[in-house]
Amino acid sequence: MKEEIKVLIIDDDAAEAHLLSCFLIKNHYKILTTPTIYLDVVKRIGYFLPDVIIISMSHAEEDIEGLKIVTYIHNTFNIPVLLLIEYHEHENLQQFIKTKPFSCYFKSIDKSNEQILNELKFSEPHIVGKLCKYKAKTIRVIRLDIDEKDEPISYDGMEHHFEDKEIKRCDVFYFKAGSAHIKNFVLIRLQSDKNHYYAFRDSLVQVLVWLNCRLFTPINGSYIINNEKITAWNIPFSVTVDDIVITIGRNNKEDIVKAYNYYHPKE
């Protein structure tokens, strides 16, 4: 069965949002709506992770908040944005265009909402995995070899070998707290490079701040694993991430089962 495309509508005009929702539902889209309140939008995007976002503003005073929202989306996600801009907002149009929307539709005072909807053409976006909807995060890291026990190999002077690396969330197997000989570091294990750890100065607590906690699960206070990469588990002893076995405790049983079932629903 073809996967349903999810659309988030950001619109303070309830009547317009309802009309747009009805139009899209008839065309077999899954819809969620929210007003142009920045914190609400941030939460809704993180929870819904839509395939496309439509943001519509009908009042000039919404410009600042709307621009803040589309800038946040542009800086954080690889999600196409369709802008519906009111006719009197043309003086700010260039600021919105700088956020590189998927498309921008300029409303006309002479047209009704029904006419506008009938003229809209929706190109179906390419559906990607949840974590692929996030843009890569650039982190200052040190690349470390891995020994036979799956532990990082530190070396003298390694603190002088930092380099910038783009980390894609969809490429992460897990984050791991640094061990005794690599204090105050977090280690990243990547699918694209299983033979190395990438160490950066931070804590797992701070890492959780910028991760979507529905898509990553903390384990034993020492790991944050990518739920998407869980391939098997042996509760309450271990969980397998790809082909890497991580020991877990009994207290993590419910979290692991929930994370596994989220990506591997029962038929």
State how far the Cα of 96 lies from the Cα of 66, in Å rounded to an integer: 9
Task: Answer left, alpha or beta for residue 35, where phi above 0 means left and psi between -120 and 50 means alpha.
Answer: beta
CA torsion angle 147 162 208 226 (round to 10): -40
The tens digit of pLDDT for each residue in 56-94 reads 865 544 556 777 888 898 889 988 888 777 655 555 666
Place of tokens 């070998």: 161
Three-class secondary structure assignment of 43-63: HHHHHHCCCEEEEEECCHHHH
The tens digit of pLDDT for each residue in 217-247 reads 999 889 999 999 999 888 778 999 998 999 8
Least confident of 11-20, 55-64, 69-78, 172-181: 55-64
- Dmax of the chain from CA atoms? 71
Task: State residue 251's pLDDT score.
Answer: 84
Could you tell me what percent of the chain has a pLDDT over 70?
79
Task: State residue 9's pLDDT score.
Answer: 92
Whose CA is closest to 147, among 192, 186, 183, 187? 187
The tens digit of pLDDT for each residue in 99-138 reads 666 655 556 555 555 555 555 555 556 678 889 999 999 9
How would residue 155 be classed by pLDDT, with cut points 50, 70 and 90? confident
Residue 253, CA distances (Å) to 130, 200, 235, 266 in order: 24, 29, 6, 18
pTM of this structure = 0.80
What residue ranges define each of the domains in the chain, with the CATH number in brackets? Answer: 5-127 (3.40.50.2300), 136-263 (2.40.50.1020)
Amino acid at 150: D
